[in-house]
Amino acid sequence: MEEDISPQAREILLGRLDSAAESFQRLRDSYQRGTLLKEGVRTVLAGTTNTGKSLIFNVLSEEDRAIVTPHAGTTRDVIVEELDLRGIPFLLHDTAGIRRDPDEIEGIGVARSLEHFGRASLILFVIDASREWSEDDWNCWKQIREKQVILVVNKVDLERRMKVPPEVTAGCLAEVEISALKGRNVTDLIDAMVGSCRMDQEDPGESCLISNLRQKECLDQVIENLGRCREAYAAGTSEEYPLQDLRQALEAIGRMTGEVRNEDILDQIFKTFCIGK
């Protein structure tokens, strides 16, 4: 690097590089929020038969779309409803209950439930507080335990017999006790669903979000190249090394926006950053 660059000018450039990297990092971190707002949180109600999943579905969607009866195995197909919970879109799926030895038609519904478990971003694992923990509960838990799960203990208005295994409680994001029939603690369930998205970490005043994977990958490259540029410049290496890193960062921005900057703009950026000036 040229020796006529003063320490003050060098610190200014390093500060500008840090500021640019920080701005790009904030934009990159908006990917999760942007994706959620664009596509919705794919949320699946899971559990054994007759735990109240369909009633919870109806309560959350504020519609009587799912059939609710005291008979096990009523839900045979997957029902989907779009929800807006405090500004966050959720795609809520009601699925067939998991149990051993279902009949042929119910078995098709169970197979579809397992398929939707695998694609879910969030699972509401519904258990019946008035029953003891069963082998079917274990089987269901084994299918979903690698996912983000909220444990929903339903029917707390009845005499409680359920003792949830510590392993299950520890593996869930949150545990909520509700009575879907009485409408008790439904707000707590909504709190847990919204909280699972970790949206509170985002700046509510942030107006620019990304929701495209290609944009996120381009921003990863921008941040990486700016970091290398800063390291090279701080170490006093030859000028062409940080310039090359900066050029690659700019090219990544061009790929993200669909516009590749020309040499005049490159020259102006270099002049602004005082590199070699």
pLDDT tens per residue across span 96-147 = 776 564 444 444 445 555 666 778 889 999 999 999 999 999 999 998 999 9
Q: Is the dihedral of CA 196, 95, 187, 88 positive or negative?
A: positive
Task: Kindly indicate the confidence band of residue 260, based on its pLDDT and cuts at 50, 70 and 90.
Answer: low
User: Tens digit of pLDDT for each residue in 72-91?
Assistant: 444 446 788 999 998 889 99
Q: For Cα atoms 194, 99, 147, give the angle at the middle one, nearest 5 degrees.
A: 30
> What was the pLDDT predicted at 107?
44
Residue 268 backbone phi and psi in degrees, to 5: -65, -40
Task: Give the mean model confidence (pLDDT) for residues 147-172.
Answer: 96
Indicate the average pLDDT of the chain. Answer: 80
Order of strands across the sheet with 79-85? Answer: 79-85, 88-94, 41-47, 122-128, 149-154, 174-177
Q: Token match 């038969």: residue?
A: 49
For residue 134, give Cα distances in angstroms to 102, 130, 156, 162, 175: 16, 12, 17, 9, 18
- Residue type at position 220: D
Residue 68 vs residue 35, higher pLDDT: 35
* 110 CB-side CA count, 13 A: 20
User: Tens digit of pLDDT for each residue in 164-189?
Assistant: 999 999 999 999 999 999 999 999 99
> What was the pLDDT predicted at 225?
93
Residue 154 vs residue 114, higher pLDDT: 154
Does 247 have pLDDT greater than 70?
A: yes
